[in-house]
Amino acid sequence: MAYYPSGCDSNIADHVCGTCGVELSRVRSVAFVNKQYYPTLITDIEDSSLWAAGIASGDIYVYPEVQGEFDGGTPNMGQGYGDTEEQLNSYTFMLSYKDPNYVGNQPHFNSIKGSRNFHVAFRSETVIAISDEPCTIVPKNPIANDLKLERTWDIEVKWTSENFPAEATTPDNVFTCYVP
């Protein structure tokens, strides 16, 4: 936790406005990046060759077509000082998504559940984001009372950080189905 007394703001980035276009929502793809490989990938998350190397080495798991949402973070407030009642300490983030590749993935989700060895990356329409802290992965495999619904893996991913996930343009040819 950093303590910043009033008037100590430094290096505040400019706000960008007047950009053309919009970014459409929905978490469309997800990847888990091993925390040992994260320092390599974060140097340039737009570099497809870094992604390919991480996937080939088993340091990145890709879920190419999912349906989900990212909550944007819930603030964790702490004790304020002086005339300040409270201060922002960090955020708790949650990403939830459905993986339609149900059949055959029980061994994978049994082995990755509860792990704290991965950062999560996810993309919307054209933007990829990646957590700067390892996450907790909580998969579930519910069965609905409906004869017409497909079974999916429902995954919740949680982490706490002082920072929002890093963002960049989604690299080409990363979020495709990889069969070992």
At 66 the three-state DSSP class reads coil
Question: Does the residue 114 lie in any domain?
Answer: yes
Report the pLDDT value the prediction gives residue 126, as an integer from 0 to 100. 93
Say yes or no to pLDDT of 97 above 70. yes
Is residue 110 one of the residues assigned to a domain?
Answer: yes
Regarding pTM above 0.85, the answer is yes
Distance from first CA to last CA of the chain, Å, rounded? 42
Write down the pLDDT at residue 138. Answer: 96
What residues contact residue 155 under an 8 Å CB cut-off, 6+ apart?
Answer: 30, 68, 96, 97, 98, 99, 109, 137, 138, 139, 140
Is 69 inside any structural domain?
yes
Beta bridge partners of 97: 68, 155
Within a domain: 139: yes
Q: How many domains does the chain have?
A: 1
pLDDT tier for residue 162 given thresholds of 50, 70 and 90 = very high
pLDDT at 11: 78
Task: Give yes or no for residue 1 having a pLDDT over 70.
Answer: no
Average pLDDT along the chain: 91
Is the model more confident about 92 or about 179? 92
pLDDT digits (tens, 9 = 90+) for 5-60: 555 667 777 777 766 778 889 999 999 999 999 999 999 999 999 999 999 999 99
Domain that holds residue 138: 29-73+87-169
State phi, psi for 145 to the nearest 5 degrees.
Answer: -90, 65
Residue 179 pLDDT level (bands cut at 50, 70, 90): low
Q: What average pLDDT does range 131-136 have in this prediction? A: 97
In a domain, 160, yes or no: yes
Asked whether 37 and 57 are in contact (CB, 8 A), the reply is: yes
Helix (H, G, I), strand (E, B) or coil at 49: helix
Average pLDDT over residues 123-142: 96
Spatial distance between the Cα atoms of 50 and 9, rounded to a whole number of angstroms: 35
Q: Which helix (H) or strand (E) holds 52?
A: helix 48-56
